[in-house]
Amino acid sequence: MRLLNFCVGTVRVVEMAGEPVPTAHLKVPVAEPWTITDSGPAGDERAIHPDAIYAVSRDHYRFWTDDLGKDRGEWDDGLFGENLTFDRLDETELRLGDVFAIGPEVRLVVAGPRVPCFKLAWRLGQPRTFQSRFAVSAHTGVYFGVVSAGRVRPGDTMSLVARDEANPTVADIALYCSGNFTPPLDGLRRALASAALSLTVRLILQSKLNLAERAAALERGAWTGWRDFTIDAVRRETADISSFELLPVDGKGIALADPGQFVTVRLEDGEGSFARAWSLSKRTEPGGVYRITVKREPDGRGSTLLHDRLSVGDRLALRAPAGRFLFDAGGFRPVVMIAAGIGITPFLPMLEAHKARGAEAPPLHFFYMAANRAAQALRAEVDALAEGEAHWHVRHVFTRPTGRDMEGRDYHHRGRIDTARLREWMKDNYLPFGEGRIALPWYEVDLYMCGPAAFCRDMTRDLTAAGANPDRIFHEVFATPAAPEEAAVEQARLLFARSGIEVVWRAEDGSTLLDCAEAAGVAIPHDCRIGACHSCRTAITGGRTSAAVGDGHALLCAAWPLTAEVTIDA
């Protein structure tokens, strides 16, 4: 590994997606002398990142220009915002804590991978979704700390001085930091034990460790199929919303749930048994209860039964917690949560999880939209959690405040939440840094929404068009489908096209397409099994089925064949 170039930059304000952003990302090569001080390259400034030195190689330039279809001749050294450009660096070989000598004076220690932010995508002219791709590419570049300062020269060789083979590689740590990867506990602990670890990466991995330890606990107590529970307590929240606390009949304790998950509940009325999915509205703890908070819908079969006919002591059956609307409590970006109406329910466990992070938690911006104060379920719990939290910013938005509602006391804004208002409220977005703050664009956040389908759809579309990263927008919509049509055929041939498996479906068996897939060994993502969560949404490429969702897809957990042959893209 030979040193080829030395780049520095100063902090300047540039426009990114229409927002002024301070950055020192615009680095350029400089002439000798090349001096590395205890805090990094002489003459270099940093706007945000605390790490001393960032390095990439010409191999990185070749990889990304080929991958993105760019002309290598148009990408000069410094484009990635690096300080040191080498002929080669391999993240799959370099290990955390490796000590390298460059020339006779300088010693550097590997501190971890680059954790990409929106500035990298901007600099390379890529969409915001590029960040996720870059993070898991094994071509992220490397952060170094300074062990000993001095001068370096073009052509200096970087040679290994010390290594602990038990430490994870830079590529491993980049995966640990990724939101789409569950890191191994041993690897996380090993990385966090290293004094060399980048401060930025340390904050992320510490939260990941907390999550991984909780995930291990989630596996304990889980069950398959249905399990009997009893209603232990009922609390009226509003005129048409009540909370129900549920305890297992067998007394063996509950399985823990990730914040944002739901439980599927089996109910029975005069027409038979049926199932509904409701979000858990309280964080689960060992020895605790499940709490669901349910709005009574005028035409809601399940909610009406729960409100009008069931009470303390009555039994119902539950499946173990499931769902993919999960809170990334290991994230480092500011968090935005938008609850519309009964969409508040999954956010209570998320708020509790965020608060549990303590001082390491990034700022939280919580927006709760409802008709008025009387329609706000769980409002007191939200306000109690936010009390005393310097970096929590809670705004209540009423669409139809009553004469009893006082602006400034009961609500902050009248009207509806839309992208224009959200941008205005988020214009002072920031991250704490020491005693001060680092200014961020409004869109540099992790954003969670739960509410009516049209609201979530329109907000996602408008936010993305305004510059938000669609990879960091998460939403939950529950809509119980209409009862499936009676099967139009007595028997059908099912072809699972990608798996190359054929099975015969018979109406008399009462099986759904998901049941048939599972019996045939075809893996289909699923959670609720009642057509509510849309996890099993799959393309139907031939024939027709019930539970169609209007775009050539069907919800397999609630679908039956309507033609003698059905081809499924699975």
DSSP output for 280-323: B-S---TT--EEEEEE--TT-HHHHHHHHT--TT-EEEEPPPB-
Residues near 157 by Cβ (< 8 Å), separated by ≥ 6? Answer: 1, 2, 3, 102
Residues near 293 by Cβ (< 8 Å), separated by ≥ 6? Answer: 237, 241, 242, 243, 244, 278, 279, 281, 342, 344, 345, 377, 378
pLDDT at 485: 46
Token pair listed for 2: 């030979």
Contact by Cβ (8 Å): 466, 423: yes
Contact by Cβ (8 Å): 4, 154: yes
Mind listing the pLDDT tens digit for each residue in 502-554?
999 987 777 889 989 988 889 898 776 767 677 788 999 999 998 887 778 99
Mind listing the pLDDT tens digit for each residue in 258-288?
899 999 898 988 888 888 889 999 999 888 8
Say how far apart CA 244 and CA 479 lie, in whole Å: 20
CA atoms within 13 A on the CB side of 405: 20
> What is the total residue count of the chain?
570
Contact by Cβ (8 Å): 111, 50: no
CA distances 25 to 10, 76, 109, 319, Å, are 8, 13, 22, 50
- Residues of the chain below pLDDT 50: 481-486
Residues near 335 by Cβ (< 8 Å), separated by ≥ 6? Answer: 354, 362, 363, 364, 365, 445, 446, 447, 448
Residue ranges of domains in the chain, CATH in brackets? 3-215 (2.40.33.20), 227-318 (2.40.30.10), 335-476 (3.40.50.80), 491-568 (3.10.20.30)
What is the SS3 assignment for 203? helix
The one-letter amino acid code at 196 reads A
